[in-house]
Structure 1
Amino acid sequence: MHIVYILHSQKLNRFYIGYTTNLDLRLDFHLHDTQARKFTYKADDWTLFFSLACTSKNQALAIEKHIKAMKSKVYIENLAIYPEITSKLLNKYATSDC
């Protein structure tokens, strides 16, 4: 399964957007890994804010890129509030050649 996920840190008041095929393993990496060079090392309170299962790697990467390109906290917050946004994203990037 290909998943786009968004983490939120209350401490930093920031979001982190990523892609994975194993959400549990990836969350564990963000919460417990000690690599100081990674963005999520800056806080220890990351919580899963949003996740979206995609049908292909290409679709997931295209959606991840789209969300990052929006550069909007409001847009990210709206993803969790309005399910029609996620439906539109899945439809927009449904083709394998995204």
Structure 2
Amino acid sequence: MKHYLYIIYSKDLDKFYTGETSNIQERIIIHNNHAIKTAYTKAASDWKLMLSFPCKDRTEALFLERFIKRMKSKKFIQKIIDDPYLLFNILNKK
């Protein structure tokens, strides 16, 4: 099953969130409707998709998600949004 790495942004919080899913549209609805009560994204309802990156499987999507989260950098996330090709470089170096 195809999986995606995604990055969403909340203008209200001025924050990004990185995740992985097999259904991006459904996942954004879940974030905006606070379907997961303990989720980081429950603090806002204005999440917008900034990047969708197709991965060959869930393992690859999780690898990229964890890599980005470990960076803990808004600037790094913005670089990826501006140039998604960087994700191919990250995958090629693993």
TM-score band by shorter chain is: 0.7 to 0.9
Task: Tell me the CA shift for residue 90 of structure 1.
Answer: 3.4
Do residues 60 (structure 1) and 30 (structure 2) align?
no
Unaligned runs of 5+ in 2: none
TM-score, normalised to structure 1, is: 0.84
Contact 1:50–1:80 (Cα < 8 Å) also in 2: yes
Partner of 1:91: 92
CA–CA distance in structure 2, aligned partners of residues 31 and 37 of structure 1: 13
Deviations 1:8-67 (A, max 9, x none): 111101111111111111111111235442211111111011111101111111111100
Q: Secondary structure at the match of 1:69?
A: helix
Equivalences, count: 93
Partner of 1:28: 29
Unaligned runs of 5+ in 1: 94-98
Cα RMSD over matched residues? 1.5
In structure 1, give the amino acid aligned to 2:27. R
Contact 1:19–1:60 (Cα < 8 Å) also in 2: yes
Partner of 2:52: 51
Q: Secondary structure at the match of 1:68?
A: helix
Kindly, what percent of the aligned residue pairs are identical?
35
TM-score, normalised to structure 2, is: 0.88
Contact 1:54–1:90 (Cα < 8 Å) also in 2: no
Greater than 2 Å deviation, 4+ residue runs: 33-37, 89-93
In structure 1, give the amino acid aligned to 2:64. I
Do residues 5 (structure 1) and 6 (structure 2) align?
yes
